[in-house]
Amino acid sequence: MDLERQSSFDAPAVKRVQIKYFYMVLLFSCLTAAAFAQSGQSGKPKLIRDTDAAEGIESADVQPAKERNPALAEQNINIGNFYLKRKNYSAAIQRYLDALEYQPDSVRAWEALARAYEKNGDVSKAVSTYKDFIEKNPDSPKSGDFRDKLADLEKKSKESADHR
């Protein structure tokens, strides 16, 4: 009988423990919710890195358009040419894009950018670059040369697509 008494549970005592545990959990959750509300934080977690951009939310630290500066454009073109010779095409592309921000009508920057895209294997961006130049500068003396290069690139891209 002793063995039986030791192994059996007092049902009302177990129920009281369960009720006390339930109230403790409830009290703890209310206290943490109140503390969280007092801290001034919303229920939404803080966003990390570029999540705002991914969600389409405008950020306050958007860089303004760069002021026209032909000297800085030329400097970026020269640095881009250095990277192009070293076959660091992505760095060259970035420098040429920077040059175009400083001088949007720079024929050298447009031509170098298209060449860098082509060498990087991104023929579609090279084609797009030539088209953008022709569209933005239709009266430029280089527009004819750019049209010829565009036709050659489109022909090459069509031929490579046919071979696949």
Question: DSSP secondary structure string, 1-37?
Answer: -HHHHHHS--HHHHHHHHHHHHHHHHHHHHHHHHHHH
The pTM score is 0.59
The CATH number corresponding to 70-163 among 1.10.3720.10, 1.10.1040.10, 3.55.50.30, 1.25.40.10 equals 1.25.40.10
For 45, residues 6+ apart whose C-beta sits below 8 A from its C-beta are: none
Instruction: Determine contact, residues 95/80, Cβ cutoff 8 Å.
Output: yes
Q: Please give the chain's pLDDT, 164 residues, in tens.
A: 455 555 556 777 778 878 888 877 777 776 666 655 555 555 555 555 555 555 555 555 556 667 899 999 999 999 999 999 999 999 999 999 999 999 999 999 999 999 999 999 999 999 999 999 999 988 888 888 989 998 988 887 777 677 66
Look at phi and psi of residue 121 and say left if phi exceeds 0, alpha if psi is from -120 to 50, else beta: left
Question: In 3D, which of 137, 52, 41, 119 has the Cα closest to residue 80?
Answer: 119
Instruction: Determine contact, residues 102/66, Cβ cutoff 8 Å.
Output: yes
Instruction: Determine contact, residues 150/118, Cβ cutoff 8 Å.
Output: no
| CA angle (6, 8, 11) in 5-degree steps | 130
